[in-house]
C-alpha cells in the first residue's frame, strides 16, 4: 500500500477490504506508515466472526457461517491455497444448527456453492442440531460419503477433526471449523 509492505492479519476478501479502509482513514489522520504497520502486525483477533487459535500445536481457524454469501467467501478463503499450488485438500468441521439465533430455515445451504470446492476439501466432520441436512447437501454436491462423518456431539466432533488432522499426511496441520452462530457460542466452551 503506497509503497509500504503490509501483511494482512485477517485473510479473505472482506477482511482485506476492511484493512485497506482502515489504512486509508489512518492516513487521512496523518498516521505514519510505520505506526500503522506495527498496529496491523500486532493485531489479535478475539473470539467472534473469524479468528485463529493455536491448540496443541495445531492452528485452529474458526469462521462463522450464517448465509450463502458468507459461506462461499469462507470456503473461498480456506481453499485459496489449493488453487495457488497447495496440493492437498483442507479438512473441515462444520457445526450446523437451526436454533432461533441461527434461523430455523436451513434451506439456504442449497445456495452455497459446495460444488466449486469439491477438489479442495478432504475430510469433513459435521456436528450440531442439523448435521444430516448439511451431509445431504454435500453428498448432492458430489462429495464422497466416505469422507463425511456425522457426530452430533460437538466435543466428540472436535476430537474427531483433531485426530484427522494429526494423522493427515501433509505439512499444513490446520483445522478449519465453520460454525453457525449458536454453535460458535458452544464451541467457545471447548476452545477458549
Annotated active-site positions, please?
105
Whole-number Å distance between alpha carbons of 190 and 192: 6
Residue 129 and residue 119 in contact, taking contact as beta carbons nearer than 8 Å: no
Residue 184 and residue 175 in contact, taking contact as beta carbons nearer than 8 Å: no
Residue 90 and residue 117 in contact, taking contact as beta carbons nearer than 8 Å: no
| Helix (H/G/I), strand (E/B), else coil: 32 | coil
Strands 50-55 and 58-63, sheet pairing:
antiparallel
CA distances from 88 to 71, 121, 147 (A): 21, 8, 14
Amino acid at each position: 500500500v503506497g509503497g509500504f509492505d503490509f501483511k494482512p492479519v485477517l485473510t479473505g476478501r472482506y477482511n482485506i477490504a476492511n484493512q485497506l479502509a482502515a489504512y486509508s482513514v489512518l492516513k487521512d489522520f496523518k498516521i505514519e506508515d510505520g505506526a500503522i504497520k506495527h498496529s496491523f502486525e500486532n493485531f489479535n483477533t478475539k473470539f467472534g466472526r473469524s479468528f485463529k487459535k493455536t491448540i496443541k500445536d495445531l492452528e485452529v481457524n474458526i469462521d462463522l457461517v450464517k448465509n450463502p454469501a458468507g459461506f462461499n467467501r469462507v470456503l473461498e478463503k480456506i481453499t485459496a491455497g489449493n488453487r495457488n499450488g497447495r496440493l492437498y485438500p483442507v479438512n473441515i468441521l462444520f457445526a450446523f444448527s437451526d436454533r432461533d439465533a441461527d434461523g430455523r430455515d436451513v434451506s439456504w445451504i442449497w445456495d452455497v456453492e459446495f460444488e466449486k470446492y469439491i477438489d479442495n476439501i478432504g475430510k469433513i466432520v459435521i456436528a450440531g442440531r442439523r448435521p444430516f441436512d448439511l451431509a445431504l447437501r454435500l453428498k448432492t454436491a458430489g462429495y464422497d460419503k466416505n469422507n463425511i462423518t456425522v457426530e452430533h456431539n460437538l466435543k466428540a466432533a472436535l476430537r474427531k477433526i483433531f485426530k484427522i488432522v494429526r494423522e493427515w499426511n501433509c505439512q499444513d496441520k490446520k483445522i478449519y471449523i465453520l460454525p453457525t452462530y449458536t454453535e460458535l457460542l458452544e464451541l467457545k466452551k471447548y476452545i477458549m
